[in-house]
Amino acid sequence: MVRKFRIIALPLLVISLLLGACTTPIFNGLTKQSDEGNGVINTPQVSATTPVPTKVSATPQPTEIPPTPTQANFKVSEKDEMEMIYIEGGEFIMGTEDIEAQRILEGNGRQYPEVPMHKVTLDRFWIDKFEVTNGQFMKCVEAGACEAAKQNNPIFAGPEYYTSSEYANYPVINVTWYKARAYCAWADRRLPTEAEWEKAARGTDGRKYTWGNEPVSNDVANLCDKGCTARYPNPKFNDGFPETAPVGSFPKGASPYGAMDMAGNVWEWTSTIPNPYPYDAKDGREAEQDVEYGSKWPERVWRGGTWTNGYSWLRASLRYRSVANYWNNNLGFRCAASE
Ligand SMILES: [Ca+2]
Ligand SMILES: [Ca+2]
């Protein structure tokens, strides 16, 4: 009896092992896809404003891996292959009561008041994950839709900065607001408003920096560190980049949504005309045309700090500004989109 049981049990054991060997890789594959889809964004809230992935089906084919909810939060632009991040609609905390911001108010004339801290409600939008690069901008120039960046204020790379494949993944610089706007239009996008920019940079919780409230360190942003070639190198920091850095070089400084370099590397143009808080998109500061608005020369807001500035310029709420036809070797941009 015992012998007969062994004869039957042995083939069953073999069959079950084979089944196990077959099913394990499939399970692992599903798990891996799910992890990749999660990125740095938490599971999104399901709401009427959440975009529906085009491949979602109520009855997915057995051979297809079901899309995870987070896949709806990323897309890639067909025009310039920019990765884009979905930012849900709703309220966030804009501005600051930070003592640094209060103190700076008394000083730099081109810095603009960040106070008071207040709540702003935005519609959903998409934000570029990275600053627009030389490689991407050159495609727009070659397409005849963009005017080349100014090359008379170069960094050490000289004119090759814009054209060499070595710098294709570095942020484009020396572009005016008009050139930035033209690029985003070519790429079927637009410049972000400064409110959108700030929400994408700091999330909804009013944090001081993209990464949280911890002090600035070497691995969160490209700022003017000890090797910096700009006017005020700071020997207390060593971020490894004397001038601009390839986009996405500081993943530890990513925003809560996963956007890169929203602290440091290059300043970023926004669509917004500087105007005191509270932020109100309907009071004329988001005028699309080059209208006269409080000044003969329309100004626009910059955000995010840069490789030529120190750690105190990396606050997510910091506002800087210039006339729209200004350019500099620390000034670039990223784009946004409503849909
Ligand atoms: Ca640096
Ligand atoms: Ca930046």
**So where are the chain's domains?**
76-339
**Confidence band of 41 (pLDDT split at 50, 70, 90):** very low
Give the tens place of pLDDT for each residue, 252-303: 999 999 999 999 999 999 999 999 999 999 998 998 766 545 556 788 999 9
Give the tens place of pLDDT for each residue, 201-238: 999 999 999 999 999 999 999 999 999 999 999 999 99
pLDDT value, residue 199 = 98
User: 175 C-alpha vs ligand 1 centroid, how far in Å?
Assistant: 20
User: 132 C-alpha vs ligand 1 centroid, how far in Å?
Assistant: 19
- Which of 7-16, 69-78, 115-124, 286-295 has the highest average model confidence (pLDDT)? 115-124
Q: For the chain, what percent of residues have pLDDT higher than 70?
A: 73
**Apex CA 120: angle with CA 205 and CA 194, to 5°?**
90
Q: Which ligand is nearest to the CA of 262?
A: 2
Spatial distance between the Cα atoms of 62 and 19, rounded to a whole number of angstroms? 18
Please, which residues have CB less than 5 A from ligand 2, an ion? Answer: 261, 265, 304
Give the tens place of pLDDT for each residue, 168-211: 999 999 999 999 999 999 999 999 999 999 999 999 999 999 99
On the question of pLDDT at 109 being above 80, the answer is no
Six-digit token pair at 64?
């297809």
Q: Which ligand is nearest to the CA of 306?
A: 2
Spatial distance between the Cα atoms of 336 and 187, rounded to a whole number of angstroms? 10
Cis peptide leading into 116, omega within 30 of 0?
Answer: yes
On the question of pLDDT at 69 being above 70, the answer is no
Cβ atoms of 119 and 92 within 8 Å: the answer is yes
Q: Which ligand is nearest to the CA of 239?
A: 1
| Mean of all residue pLDDT scores within the chain | 80
Contacts of 297 (CB under 8 A, 6+ apart): 323, 324, 325
What is the number of H-type helices and E-type strands within the chain?
6, 11
More confident residue, 2 or 249: 249
CATH class of 76-339: alpha beta
- Going from the C-alpha of 249 to that of each of 4, 150, 246, 252, the distances in angstroms are 66, 25, 6, 9
pLDDT value, residue 71 = 55
On the question of pLDDT at 33 being above 50, the answer is no
Q: Which ligand is nearest to the CA of 264?
A: 2
On the question of pLDDT at 16 being above 80, the answer is no
Cβ atoms of 332 and 304 within 8 Å: the answer is no
- DSSP letters along 40-77, please? TSPPPPP-TTSPPPTT--SS--TTSPPPPGGGGGEEE-
Give the tens place of pLDDT for each residue, 110-135: 778 898 999 999 999 999 999 999 99
Q: Which ligand is nearest to the CA of 332?
A: 2
User: 212 C-alpha vs ligand 2 centroid, how far in Å?
Assistant: 16
On the question of pLDDT at 57 being above 50, the answer is no
Nearest to 173 by CA among 134, 144, 143: 134
Spatial distance between the Cα atoms of 216 and 12, rounded to a whole number of angstroms? 61
User: 234 C-alpha vs ligand 1 centroid, how far in Å?
Assistant: 9
User: 201 C-alpha vs ligand 2 centroid, how far in Å?
Assistant: 10
Q: Which ligand is nearest to the CA of 238?
A: 1
Q: Which amino acid is at 327?
A: W
pLDDT value, residue 194 = 98
Spatial distance between the Cα atoms of 41 and 84, rounded to a whole number of angstroms? 13
On the question of pLDDT at 308 being above 90, the answer is yes
Q: Which ligand is nearest to the CA of 316?
A: 2
Cβ atoms of 336 and 194 within 8 Å: the answer is no
User: 306 C-alpha vs ligand 1 centroid, how far in Å?
Assistant: 9
Nearest to 269 by CA among 337, 202, 188, 336: 336
pLDDT value, residue 339 = 83
Token pair 């070659």: residue: 142
Torsion angle in degrees (nearest 10) through CA of 181, 152, 112, 273? -20
Cβ atoms of 195 and 120 within 8 Å: the answer is yes
